[in-house]
Amino acid sequence: MLDAQRAVPQTKLHDHTCMRYNDPSASELNHWRERTARRTTRLKAMERELLAQRSPDLLQIHPLNITDRLPPELLSHIFQLVVVGSSGIWRQEWVRHLVSVSRRWRDVIYNRASFWTTVVVHGSRGLSSVSAHLTRSRNCLLDIEIRSFRENEFPRLRRRLTLLIVHVRRWRSLELCVDGKAMQLSLDLLSTMTFPSLTRALIQSSRQHRTRSLCFLKAEQSPVLGHLEIEGFVWDDVPLLPTLASLKSKDMRCFSASMPPFLSQLSSMKLTALSVSGSLDTRWLLSDSLHLPHLERLTLDRTWKAKEVLEAIVAPKLEYFDYSAIHNSASDIFGSLGSKYNSVRQLAFYLDHRVVLYLDRDGAEAVCLAFSGIRHATIWLAEIDSFFLFIDDSCPADHWTSLEHLTINTGDIGTESSAALNGFVHWINRRVGERHRLHIKFMGTFADQRLFRLLDGIQKERCTLEMGDLQSLNFG
């Protein structure tokens, strides 16, 4: 499956990895309500502190009216900080609880259209609620999410879609995450619409549909669509939009007759990011056959045919490579690439240890040789033993002579990882001729001081060490 992500800088639909959401359970809602209550308490404390800094005497004069004395603009900004990062139904849940705190909070939120630009429609949401939401959004661009409609809720889906279509010219993004007949009904209702403002669309289904039913692939209907994500579709000889800079597809199959023109279209487009995930028919992927002159980011996400994909792609501008493996054949996948990907400057490497137990040293060596020009690397603690395993006073990571930043994702430090870190510390201390001071960042949870004791042996002039979200510790 082919999957092209957006270019740098990237802007996600709602700054989260899109998933299929079911209707929230009572326990989930109670959990979020408790979190809302705690965050509301913190908000009031913040308000008191801000007001105290502005006028200490005011606290004594009006101790019960602090919230009401904050300017609406400041209160609105604080509320935005609360909901930012929340997406879909959880964003709406935050807003619902905030407006229930007081009349003034409600008025502030109701009068700010920016709180109402994300419209989530699912089987349990009432039509009047959707209508009121759209009214409060005024003339702002909208991010539409349609999710989780059961077969007995098709009439409800039709009525809600009909209401949303009235505002179709304001749609900025669309996430359509439904299955089976609900997907087909949605696509049928949208098939004749024009989306003049739509820049991003995600169409997700667990069942296979044909791409010819996707009206979003027609230039006359989506003239500014730049990012398209598709999951659960069969590619059926449909021309790709020339405006697409990013195409992402997951679990998408392709008819044999459609594969050559599909690959030809990819080569002719100005795609800046490509991802290949799952299974893929590679019979048409010959060596150096897929020319992507504008490609900057490449992701292989649990791909069964990673070797064939890497050998087929020609991407002279590629700078970022993200690899998630599901089989232990790194030496075979990367060993024959030579200097083809020396332009890559950022590498993220991950093994799914549910199916791959370990990365051997030969595999690590092949990875380091294939991407010897990197300046930024992200690896996991489980693989550190392979990248920094010394034999005859050398290790695979010695090939990273231009490395400037290294991020290690980890969890609790155990006995095995402690032994692996000894080799890592030795590698840092023996680095010679490096042009840049190495910045090392550990991301994860550390239960005790063993990590600090292990890293205490690093020579101070060698690197800058950062521990997760903690303050950077400069050695030297």
| 241 or 1, which is more confident | 241
At residue 417, the pLDDT reads 57
The C-alpha atoms of residue 302 and residue 269 are separated, in whole angstroms, by 25
Q: Which residues, other chains included, contact 227 with Cβ-Cβ below 8 Å and sequence gap of 6+?
A: 6, 199, 200, 201, 244, 245, 246, 247, 248
What is the CATH class of 319-476?
A: alpha beta
Task: Give the residue ranges of DSSP H helices in 72-220.
Answer: 72-83, 88-99, 103-110, 127-136, 154-165, 180-190
Closest by CA position to 224, among listed 264, 204, 246, 197: 197
Rg (CA), the chain: 26
Q: Is the pLDDT of residue 437 over 50?
A: yes
CA–centroid distance for 410 within its chain: 19
Residue (of 254, 207, 205) closest to 230 by Cα position: 205
**Tokens 């195409």 -> residue:** 247
Mean pLDDT of 10-24: 40
Pairwise pLDDT comparison (22 vs 294), residue with the higher score? 294
pLDDT digits (tens, 9 = 90+) for 102-153: 888 888 888 889 889 989 998 888 899 999 999 999 999 999 999 888 878 8
Please determine, for residue 9, whether its predicted confidence score (pLDDT) is greater than 60.
no
Query: Which residues have CB under 8 Å from 14's CB, separation 6+?
Result: 87, 88, 91, 118, 143
Q: Rounded to 5 degrees, what are φ and ψ at 18?
A: -75, 135
pLDDT of residue 228: 84
Length of the chain: 476
Average pLDDT of the residues in 200-219: 76
Output the CA angle 298-303-304, nearest 5 degrees. Answer: 140
CA angle 429, 430, 433 (to 5 degrees): 115
Distances in Å between the Cα of 297 and the Cα atoms of 162, 319, 320, 372, 455 are 38, 6, 5, 17, 33
Q: Over pLDDT 70: what percentage of the chain?
A: 70
Residue predicted with more confidence, 380 or 206? 380
pLDDT at 114: 86
Which segment of 329-333, 412-416, 454-458 scores lowest on mean pLDDT? 412-416
Give the Cβ contact number of residue 296 at 10 Å: 17
59 touches 117 (CB < 8 A): no
Q: For 265-277, give the DSSP string.
A: HHHHS---EEEEE
Measured CA to CA, the distance from residue 55 to residue 49 in angstroms comes to 10
| Angstrom distance (rounded) from CA 321 to CA 462 | 26
Which of 98-112, 199-213, 269-283 has the largest mean confidence? 98-112
Range in 231-235, 244-248, 287-291 the model is least confident about: 231-235
Split at pLDDT 50, 70, 90, the class of 239 is: low
For residue 246, what is the DSSP state? E
| pLDDT at position 378 over 70 | yes
Going 396 to 398 to 400 to 404, the CA torsion angle's sign is positive
For residue 288 the two structure tokens come to: 């150096």
pLDDT, position 252: 62
11, pLDDT greater than 50: no
User: Over the chain, what is the mean pLDDT?
Assistant: 78
Mean of pLDDT values over 428-451 = 70
pLDDT in tens, 29-67: 666 667 666 766 776 676 666 555 554 454 444 444 566
CB atoms within 10 A of CB 126: 10
Q: Is the model more confident about 475 or about 123?
A: 123
Residue 236 or residue 346, greater confidence = 346
Every domain of the chain and the residues it spans: 20-116, 117-128+137-254, 319-476
More confident residue, 219 or 55: 219
Query: C-alpha angle with apex 398: 394 to 401, nearest 5 degrees?
Result: 155
Residue 8 has pLDDT above 50, yes or no: no
